[in-house]
């Protein structure tokens, strides 16, 4: 008899977005005429930029010729893309990486979920709360998170609350934690850490021998010069941090699939006897066993966003979404809501009015304004009392949704 991995049974049964869809469908069956606008989903909507489309066409044509055909690519990704990453994402910020510290992947979700395979099952895990669910669920699947209590807290996880009271700046843990996940700019709150604040985390990690898994999926949305795009802008971070990047939100690659992970050569973890083991060769070994690379087409597409035209076009699309974010912020403020984020990230995090928790407000707005948001509690216990709005809609839909909310609030 095959025994099942029972850790899977501890995971919450309903994924947040399935739960939302169920409630929206229930609404639609009783309100057949209503046209619902979603400001809830975390997917982009604008098409790929022309530079990417040209690169995809070119790469496709090459694949149809005997000389241009490519089969399995290099395990860590093609050098043309890794070199473009070094030259454009890191050198201008004074960060010197070795090309072998870059691992091209099929998007950040896989690697943020898989990276925990490099550490023992009994490490302690810390997360900022609320948080992108992948980090905790991937640890729960192998039993590292422990068991979930009624409030949705895992027994072996250290939660670092981020809320309006602490300005969404998590306090350092009051005890040692082996591994910490940080995501900045943050999904779901849309808030950021300054260089000084991130510096405190790197110091904590170096003093406590803590590993940081740093998710920079939204770095392209940063507008303010004092906000770090990479944790390696902080001295010492190469000794304590892995960093994840994604082209999904940067350039609309949610359907194309491409990203990359940095595992510095200086980064190590200990054996029980205290020997230090470099993680870079371990990750290479892991990837070359379980992953066969990102398609040549996707890598050529990603390379194209580093050309002068590509950079300009990607910047324009991000600017388009950030106009939505600005409109969300200003409209919500004028209606008297308390809102956060939205200045260096495509997410606006709203405190629900007194008397409404996340799900209650979600339903009130769905029934009152026919607009969908994401209940904050779906991202962790500290998300209770908040909802998330995304800036990924069209200008027309975002403006229309805000007009409806304004009408609903002012009746």
**Could you list the residues that contact ligand PLP (CB under 6 A)?**
42, 107-109, 112, 132, 183, 187, 215, 217, 246, 248-249, 254, 259
The answer to whether 262 touches 101, Cβ cutoff 8 Å, is yes
How far apart CA 300 and CA 81 sit, in angstroms, is 7
Token pair recorded at residue 259: 């990203």
The CA-based dihedral angle spanning residues 363, 45, 133, 172, taken in that order and rounded to the nearest 10 degrees: -100
Coil vs helix vs strand at 371: strand
188 vs 264, which CB is nearer to ligand PLP? Answer: 188
How far apart are CB 328 and ligand PLP at their closest, in Å? 17
Question: Where would I find the beta strands (DSSP E) of 131-263?
Answer: 157-161, 179-183, 211-215, 241-246, 259-262
How far apart are CB 353 and ligand PLP at their closest, in Å? 26
How far apart are CB 219 and ligand PLP at their closest, in Å? 11
How far apart CA 358 and CA 163 sit, in angstroms, is 14
The CA-based dihedral angle spanning residues 173, 175, 181, 185, taken in that order and rounded to the nearest 10 degrees: 20
Residue 235 to residues 172, 202, 240, 279, 390, Cα–Cα distance (Å): 18, 8, 10, 19, 33
Q: Taking phi first (over 0 means left), then psi (-120 to 50 degrees means alpha), and beta for anything else, what does residue 167 get? A: left
Alpha carbon distance, N-terminus to C-terminus of the chain? 63
103 vs 337, which CB is nearer to ligand PLP? Answer: 103
- Spatial CB neighbours of 237, under 8 Å, sequence gap ≥ 6: 202, 212, 231
How far apart are CB 347 and ligand PLP at their closest, in Å? 9
184 vs 296, which CB is nearer to ligand PLP? Answer: 184
If 0-12 CB within 10 Å is exposed, 13-18 middle and 19+ buried, where does residue 27 land? middle
117 vs 149, which CB is nearer to ligand PLP? Answer: 117
Report the residue closest to ligand PLP, judged by CB. 107
345 vs 405, which CB is nearer to ligand PLP? Answer: 345
306 vs 337, which CB is nearer to ligand PLP? Answer: 306
How far apart CA 39 and CA 273 sit, in angstroms, is 51
Question: Which is nearest to 78 in space by CA: 230, 229, 301, 263?
Answer: 301
390 vs 398, which CB is nearer to ligand PLP? Answer: 390
133 vs 368, which CB is nearer to ligand PLP? Answer: 133
Instruction: Using DSSP bridges, classify how beta strands 374-375 and 386-390 pair: parallel, antiparallel or unpaired.
Output: antiparallel
290 vs 333, which CB is nearer to ligand PLP? Answer: 290
How far apart are CB 22 and ligand PLP at their closest, in Å? 22
How far apart are CB 29 and ligand PLP at their closest, in Å? 30
How far apart are CB 17 and ligand PLP at their closest, in Å? 12
232 vs 347, which CB is nearer to ligand PLP? Answer: 347
How far apart are CB 246 and ligand PLP at their closest, in Å? 3
How far apart CA 290 and CA 338 sit, in angstroms, is 45
Token pair recorded at residue 148: 């979930």
Question: Which is nearest to 346 in space by CA: 385, 320, 370?
Answer: 320
């Amino acid at each position: 008899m095959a025994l099942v991995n029972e850790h899977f049974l501890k995971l919450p049964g309903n994924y947040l977005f399935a739960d939302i869809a169920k409630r929206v469908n229930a609404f639609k069956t009783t309100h057949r005429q209503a046209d619902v606008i979603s400001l809830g989903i975390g997917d982009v909507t604008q098409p790929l930029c022309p530079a990417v489309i040209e690169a995809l066409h070119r790469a496709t044509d090459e694949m149809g010729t005997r000389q241009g055909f490519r089969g399995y690519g290099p395990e860590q990704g093609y050098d043309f893309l890794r070199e473009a990453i070094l030259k454009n994402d890191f050198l201008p910020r004074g960060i010197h990486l070795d090309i072998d510290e870059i691992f091209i992947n099929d998007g950040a979700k896989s690697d943020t979920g898989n990276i925990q395979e490099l550490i023992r099952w009994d490490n302690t895990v810390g997360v900022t709360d609320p948080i992108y669910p992948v980090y905790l669920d991937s640890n729960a699947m192998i039993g590292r998170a422990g068991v979930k209590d009624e409030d949705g807290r895992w027994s072996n996880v250290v939660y670092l609350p981020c809320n309006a009271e602490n300005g969404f700046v998590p306090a350092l843990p009051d005890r040692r934690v082996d591994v910490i996940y940080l995501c900045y700019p943050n999904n779901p709150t849309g808030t950021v850490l300054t260089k000084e604040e991130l510096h405190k985390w790197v110091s904590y990690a170096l003093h406590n021998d803590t590993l940081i898994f740093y998710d920079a999926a939204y770095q392209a949305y940063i507008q303010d010069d004092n906000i770090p795009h990479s944790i390696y802008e902080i001295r010492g971070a190469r000794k304590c941090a892995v960093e994840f990047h994604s082209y999904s939100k940067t350039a609309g690659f949610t359907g194309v699939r491409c990203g990359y992970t940095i595992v510095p050569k200086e980064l190590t973890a200990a054996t029980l006897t205290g020997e230090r083991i470099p993680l870079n060769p371990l990750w290479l070994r892991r990837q070359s066993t379980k992953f066969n690379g990102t398609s040549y087409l996707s890598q050529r597409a990603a390379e194209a966003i580093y050309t002068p035209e590509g950079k300009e076009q990607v910047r324009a699309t991000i600017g388009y979404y950030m106009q939505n974010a600005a409109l969300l912020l200003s409209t919500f403020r004028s209606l008297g809501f308390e809102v956060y984020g939205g200045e260096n990230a495509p997410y606006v995090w709203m405190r629900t009015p007194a008397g409404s928790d996340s799900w209650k407000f979600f339903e009130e707005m769905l029934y009152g304004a026919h607009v969908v948001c994401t209940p904050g509690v779906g991202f962790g216990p500290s998300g209770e009392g908040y909802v998330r709005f995304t800036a990924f809609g069209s200008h027309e839909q975002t403006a229309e949704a805000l007009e409806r909310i304004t009408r609903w609030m002012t009746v």
